[in-house]
Amino acid sequence: MDAADILLLCGDLTDTGSPEEGRGLARELAALKIPMVGVLGNHDYECDRLDELKQALQEGGIRILDGDADEILGIGFAGVKGFAGGFGRGALGPWGEPAIKAFVQEALNEALKFEKALAKLRTSRKVALLHYAPISATVEGEPPEIYPYLGSSRLEEPLTRYPVDVVFHGHAHHGAPEGQTRDGVPVYNVSMALLQRSRPNEPPFRVVELPL
């Protein structure tokens, strides 16, 4: 990790979301002497102990963003887990049963949190962190039937109003390594499973350099 100044983590930091797993990750990363910032993923919600998990991670030096913004080494970071719902014309709409409306509302709530976080950034260089994908290009390679569960184009909309230099997400284990928003912003899928499969002879992380 000598090649990096900041470590970004794009969710699924644990398997079942237990604080014990969070403390285990923090111990594994304790040797790193660089700032660490990340978002939670769907796995991290499984046992519904979010406050304890966040505390365990943050006590281990991992700053967790959930609709928040932070500045590290002059770079602004905005992050949120995001949610599912599909892309473009295939996105689920809030019509019909209350359960469908609640599902769509959750996607809208996450997009709104994301927008509020992006709006707080005041640095010249800006980075967005998500767990769910904001574009369909980086989930290509997954079975088309599960695209709606891998992300939502509602997460791309805030990026058109508050541009960033680069976007990172996870979750799509069999997706594509990179794509672009409609405005040409690079989006990297940094799911560890994908990195291990697509770059078998390299460490499972991606290094991206931002000129300052």
Q: C-alpha distances in angstroms, 202 versus 53, 155, 199, 207?
A: 30, 30, 6, 11
The yes-or-no verdict on residue 110 having pLDDT over 90 is yes
pLDDT given at position 174? 96
Segment 98-123 shows an average pLDDT of 97
Q: How far apart (Å, rounded) are the C-alpha atoms in residues 132 and 150?
A: 6
pLDDT given at position 202? 87
Segment 111-119 shows an average pLDDT of 98
Strand order in the sheet with 62-64: 7-10, 36-39, 62-64
- Decide if 48 contacts 41 (C-beta within 8 A): no
Q: How far apart (Å, rounded) are the C-alpha atoms in residues 103 and 204?
A: 33
The fold adopted by the segment(s) 7-198 is: Purple Acid Phosphatase; chain A, domain 2 (3.60.21)
Strand 178-180 and strand 186-189: pairing? antiparallel
Q: How far apart (Å, rounded) are the C-alpha atoms in residues 7 and 205?
A: 9
Residues found in the chain: 212
Average pLDDT, the chain: 95
Write the DSSP assignment of 84-146 as a string of letters: --BSGGGSPPS-SSHHHHHHHHHHHHHHHHHHHHHHT--SSEEEEEESSBSSSGGGBTB-GGG
Q: How far apart (Å, rounded) are the C-alpha atoms in residues 168 and 192?
A: 12
The yes-or-no verdict on residue 199 having pLDDT over 90 is no
Q: Is the dihedral of CA 102, 119, 22, 53 positive or negative?
A: negative
The yes-or-no verdict on residue 2 having pLDDT over 90 is no
Q: Which two tokens stand for residue 104?
A: 């769509």
The yes-or-no verdict on residue 53 having pLDDT over 90 is yes
The answer to whether the pTM exceeds 0.75 is yes
β-partners of residue 189 are 169
Element (H, E) at 195: helix 192-198
pLDDT given at position 136? 97
The yes-or-no verdict on residue 1 having pLDDT over 60 is no
